[in-house]
Structure 1
Amino acid sequence: MCGPIKPATHGGRRYFLLLVDDSSRFMWLRLLTAKDQAAEAIKEIKARAEMETGKKLKVLRTDRGGEFNSEEFARYCAGEGVGRHLTAPYSPQQNGVVERRNQTVVGMARSMLKAKGMPAAFWGEAVSTAVYILNRSPTKSLEDKTPFEAWHERKPDVAHLCTFGCIGHVKVTRPNLAKLEDRSKPMIFLGYKAGSKAYRLYDPVERRVHASRDVVFDEAASWD
């Protein structure tokens, strides 16, 4: 768990929860408005991971934060047959894999925001994109395989990766365009839409996030 982070995202999120599979190093990220949402996020990630693999979660290693240490969550884990490993107080090194990944994700997000002059309130999009990229990047701990490949047992497609914060010219799909109207609209690339091949882009005029597959990117251009 990382946070509270200031400023909050445009959706009011102040925390992010990062889970890392110890074997594959594959990561899951959830943006949260409050710490007490962590337990439900873990349950949701657990259900999805078990559905994907057909395997059951055996051990959950966390620190002793109250969001992980409630009686209700302890009963849930016991009922699901999930063993709990709690780190000693003030000993983050005992949960070293996820602690290092947290630092890497935050560092990447900070660099991505600064590189393109993005407002800090877009940190949620930046950490989400950082996790997406890291899951598809080779790591020495897997002998230069990617976490995606170790988890899904197939190589990831990376041809669609683009520079965070660059300008994307999004096709205007509104019907009956006038002959002189623009056929595309410039927006800011924020990342990748989960469960689809669409990109997420921010329209600074409408102040809305759009999803589109019909985009031409100018990776040298930026917000500022």
Structure 2
Amino acid sequence: MLHHVKMDKRFWAEAAMTAVYVKNHLPSPKIPHKTPFEIVYNSKPSVKHMRGFGCHTYILTPKEKQLKRNPKARTGLILATKKCPRLTEFMTLKWGRRR
């Protein structure tokens, strides 16, 4: 995954967590017609919240921190998908900081 999106090796932990998260939401050949997520939570998983690892994104600046002369969003890269989109981890491109 890191090679595909041309990211540095320092993000291997985030790539591994994302790979495991996706794998747990996919059907397993050892468990017919079910995913590991279904076995644990007894409900079908949703993939609506998933975003691509390393994809470019726009990060909205909160209204209380917006200034008239500054842009309302910054560019960044998605590092980890969470169940709640507001908790998705990303890295800003300008400073290289994690948020």
TM range (shorter): 0.7 to 0.9
Q: Aligned partner of 1:163: which letter?
A: G
Identity value in percent = 30
Amino acid at match of 2:54: G
Structure 1: runs of 5 or more not aligned: 1-111, 211-224
- Which residue of 72, 76, 88 maps to 1:183? 72
Structure 2 residue 94 is the aligned partner of structure 1 residue 209: no
The higher-RCO structure (CA 8 Å, 6+ apart) is 2
- Distance, in Å, in 2 between the alignment partners of 1:163 and 1:134 is 14
In structure 2, the partner of 1:120 is 9
Partner residue, 1:167: 56
Q: Select which of 38, 56, 59 maps to 1:149.
A: 38
Task: Return the structure number with greater strand share.
Answer: 1
Q: How does the TM-score come out when normalised to structure 1? A: 0.41
How far did residue 138 of structure 1 move?
0.8
Q: Does 1:130 align with 2:57?
A: no
Q: Distance in 2 between matches of 1:176 and 1:141?
A: 50
Change (3 A) 1:176 1:143: closer
How many residue pairs end up in the alignment? 97
More helix by share: 1
Tell me how far apart the structure 1 counterparts of residues 98 and 15 of structure 2 sit (CA, whole Å): 14
Q: Which runs of 4+ in 1 moved over 4 A?
A: none
